[in-house]
Structure 1
Amino acid sequence: MSLTDRLIMSALVDPMKSDLHLSDSAIGVLQGIVFAVVYACAGLVLGRAADRQRRLTILLVGATTWCLATIACGLATSYWQLVLARALVGIGEAALAPAAVSIVADSFPPARRGTATSVFFVGSYIGAPVSIAVGGVMLGLAQGGSFSGVPMIGDISPWRMVLVIVGVAGMVVPVLLLSLREPNRQDRPRAETLGVMIRHFVTDWRMLAPLYLAIGLMNIGDYGMFAWFPTVLSRQFAIPPKEIGQWFGILTAATGILGCLVAGPASDLIARAVGVRGRLFLPLAAALIASAGALLIAKGDAGAVFSGLALWVFFSAISNIAGIAALQAVIPSRYNGVGIALLAFCNVMLGLGLGPVLVPLVTEHVYCDPLLVGWAVATVAASAAILAALLFLVSSLGLSRRRLGPD
């Protein structure tokens, strides 16, 4: 639900542009930088809280906030009201990753955390394509008048109806959270100052900095792809929104889930065989293959474009999950909340902050043709993946200095 609320706007780009008289770049800023800055900054604070406070309470408040803010996005009457509501979505969703991953880490032994993490992140690979599928299908229904009789929203624009309905439906998440139990912490929080925690991360900067940046770069491709691939299909192939939602959702959900489920067990297996450093070779190889898939999106036929999307999503999922598994292996569990918050900071500042923005910038200023948005998606994603592969290699070299053995 978190990813659905976050990314559903990508299925609503053209009607939002028409209604509010916005440019592609303005939509990119709304989807990217506005959300990214707030999410990243709030995440650092909430990550520290997740290492020291009751994590289920943090999740409950965050989920309620992002659902109400999504409803507010649908009711906004101006661009700046939409910006404010979008920022509130970012604050609410910033609570999820640090608290949830910390709970997962405390629920499984280190040797199985790669598998457990991959199962958890299956939700993100369902939520991202579902946001496009649900958005496209619901937009088509709303444009056809299917929701015209719904009280309070029957007279508003179709794209607004979609956001309000999704926000209301998301309120099931905080209700379900009330049924969960807080696990015991494997590494109980110590009475450490903020400076002690910071020094721990600074000491390992040669390994951690390139690892964080590599995962962030893969997210540039991910967010650029999810934000603009539906537009590629509508502009290049004149596919209607309902069909875009269906095909995009099915393909990305299937390949993303498969990649996610492969990544965790494979990472655990490699770690048992050759040690923690081996966890970084998997995301490196996957990033290189993903870059090849991205280049297919620049081709002019639909078959190649969909094949490129499938390859990208599958191998990007492997790269991201294996990278996170490596991160969990080298950070003490008492710092899991902050460690994942730092990762979320890099992901949104690089991925969500730049991915949706770079694609229209390349479209408008490099290729100078809105019909070449597919070339722009391919350029941004492939370049980011190649740089990520190089940084995974640099991180593995830094990790080798620590002389880590098998998990």
Structure 2
Amino acid sequence: MHASNETSPLHSAVAASPVAHHARPDARAWSALAILCFVYVLNFLDRQLLSILAKPIQDELGVTDGQLGMISGLYFALFYCVLAIPVGWLADRTNRVKVLSFSCALWSAATVACGLSSSYAQLAIARMSVGVGEAGGVPPSYAIVSDYFPPGTRGTALSIYNLGPPIGLALGVAFGASIAAAYSWRSAFIFLGALGIVTALVVVLCVREPVRGGLDTAIGDAAPVRSEQPAFWPTCRMFFSHPVLLRVSLASGATQFVTYALLNFTTLFLMREKGMTLQEVAIYYALLIGIAIGGGMYVSGRLIDRFAPKSRGAYGYLPAVALALAIPFFIGFVWAPTWQLALLFLAVPTFLNYFYLSPAVTLVQEEVRPNERVLSGALLLLVMNLIGLGLGPTYLGAVSDYFRPEHPENSLQMAFYTLVPFYVIAVLAHLWLVRALRRESANRSSL
């Protein structure tokens, strides 16, 4: 029996369970979280290394903005998102730690292949292979973290796990750009891919598979919630027919359309149109990314743990307000005549743009049953990454190519301005989520 459109039995049980709420994570949980976070660092570092080193890759291989958008966006996302579904289903039925370890080794080997590519076609194939491996990275990790940390601490734990992207970006910009400046862009791919293969061994040796639903207890009972083998299609139907789950996925996708378009072209924009050097990017942009995105991830997770128990509308209101506040600063970043002023403006939207992720992941993990968590996390990633990762960079690269004939010196600037309406769409999508959360809460209170 699965969660219905109106009520999530698991969420109701967990919310009422004093045992679940007062359980404290032990040292093993924090150790596992640290390792999983490092894997996520490598996951995102390998994923974004292409955009970080876009300028030297374009110079050597003659890749256009549109082609760059395709291999960093649509081509990657198709494999990453679609394969995440069967991998998530497999992980829900088998050992999630082993699935994660194998996936880490696979995408790391594909990253090495990116560094060995001598043509656009070879680079595209290698990038798609990175997507194949990374399909098994995040969904199993979401579920593992949720089974190490009880309700009431998951928002914070998942926000710490979600520090992986900003740390990965910051290290990627700092070390990737530094290695590329000192040696070549190829060396950066090869070195970081080799590091990922070693990390895959650490995962399988040091992280234990936690009991599914072991910290989710039934009302008045210390026994874990039952964890039968999940059925694939019923879980998919449950997810897409559940108003809250569907809307949080679409709202996250609308947000990622902006964030991935911005991430995948900011380094190129700062170097080509704002005059930054690769060495300056390695210092100043790396610091901004690490501090601002990491701060946004962590602060939003803490705020959700504080406000969501009082009002579940916080899952939608928090990202909506943050994105609305980010818009004028984003416009200032695009307009700024110097890279120094551009970075000052960019710090604010970089912090606020990521207030959606920790709330979205926490909401999905607490809305479904323990044995549906990996697949549900994969379905969340399917929707938001197909929209955001698949379409965002692809759109921005194509628009930049469109403006290039008439605006050869600032085609990316013109393309960035067109992202403003998508900010507005993301705000409205999160307010749409709030309506579903209110309706669900009203239905629960009437039972």
TM normalised by structure 1 equals 0.90
Aligned pair partner of 1:309 in 346, 362, 378: 346
Alpha-carbon spacing, 1:129–1:351, altered in 2? closer, same or farther (3 Å): farther
What is the distance in 2 between the residues matched to 1:133 and 1:261? 21
Q: 1:164 aligns with which of 173, 190, 195?
A: 190
Counterpart residue number, 1:65: 106
- Cα offset for 1:175? 2.4
Q: For residues 187-246 of structure 1, what are the alpha-carbon distances to aligned partners after superposition, in whole Å with 9 as ceiling and x for unaligned?
A: 453244333223322331x33222111111221222122211111211223221111121
Q: Distance in 1 between matches of 2:198 and 2:417?
A: 39
The correspondence for 1:117, drawn from 153, 158, 171, is 158
Letter in 2 for 1:89: V
What are the within-5 Å matches in structure 2 for residues 2-401 of structure 1?
A: 2-142=43-183, 158-177=184-203, 178-186=205-213, 187-204=225-242, 206-274=243-311, 276-299=312-335, 300-366=337-403, 368-373=406-411, 375-376=413-414, 378-401=416-439
How far apart are 1:36 and its partner, in Å? Answer: 0.6
After superposing on structure 2, the runs of 4+ consecutive aligned residues of structure 1 that deviate more than 6 Å are: none
Change (3 A) 1:360 1:111: same
Taking structure 2 as the reference length, the TM-score comes to 0.82
Distance 1:374 1:85 in 2: 26
Deviation at 1:277, TM superposition (A): 2.7
User: Is this contact kept in 2: 1:136–1:243, CA < 8 A?
Assistant: no
Aligned AA for 1:170? G
Q: What is the distance in 1 between the residues matched to 2:93 and 2:226?
A: 9
Cα pair 1:139 1:242 within 8 Å, conserved: no
Deviation at 1:65, TM superposition (A): 0.3
Query: After superposition, what is the alpha-carbon deviation per residue over 1:328-365, rounded to whole angstroms, capped at 9, x for unaligned?
Result: 33223321111211122123212221222222222232
**Distance between the aligned counterparts of 2:431 and 2:206, measured in 1?**
42
Q: Which amino acid aligns with 1:269?
A: R
Task: Note closer, same or farther for the CA distance 1:8–1:401 as it changes in structure 2 (3 Å cut).
Answer: same
CA distance in 2, matches of 1:16, 1:304: 27
Match of 1:51, SS state, is helix
User: Structure 1 residue 41: deviation in Å?
Assistant: 0.9
Cα deviation code 1:14-73 (max 9, x no counterpart): 222232222221121111111110001110111112221110000110010011111111
Instruction: Say if 1:377 and 1:53 are closer, same or farther in 2 by CA, change over 3 A.
Output: farther
In the TM superposition, residue 374 of structure 1 has moved relative to its aligned partner by 5.0
Q: Tell me, which stretches of 5 or more residues in structure 1 are unaligned?
A: 143-157
Q: Distance in 2 between matches of 1:41 and 1:198?
A: 13
| Counterpart residue identity of residue 169, structure 1 | L
CA distance in 1, matches of 2:354, 2:192: 25
Q: 1:110 aligns to what SS in structure 2?
A: coil
- Unaligned 5+ runs, structure 2: 1-41, 214-224
Distance 1:41 1:303, change over 3 A: same
Deviates more, 1:70-79 or 1:39-48: 70-79
Contact 2:180–2:186, Cα closer than 8 Å, also in 1: no
Distance 1:264 1:175 in 2: 30
Q: 8 Å contact 2:301–2:359 — kept in the other structure?
A: yes
Tell me the secondary structure at the aligned position of residue 313 of structure 2. helix
Name the SS for the 1:340 alignment partner.
Answer: helix
Instruction: Find the aligned partners of 1:6 and 1:188 in 2 and give their Cα distance.
Output: 36
Distance 1:322 1:76 in 2: 38
Q: CA deviation at 1:3?
A: 0.7
Corresponding residue for residue 154 of structure 1: none
Q: Is the Cα contact below 8 Å between 1:216 and 1:348 reproduced in 2?
A: yes
User: Would you say how many aligned residue pairs link Structure 1 and Structure 2?
Assistant: 389
Amino acid at match of 1:179: C
Moved more, 372-381 or 111-120: 372-381
1:10–1:192 CA distance, 2 compared to 1 (3 A): closer
- Give the AA of the match of 2:127: R
Q: Give the percent of matched residue pairs that are identical in Structure 1 and Structure 2.
A: 27
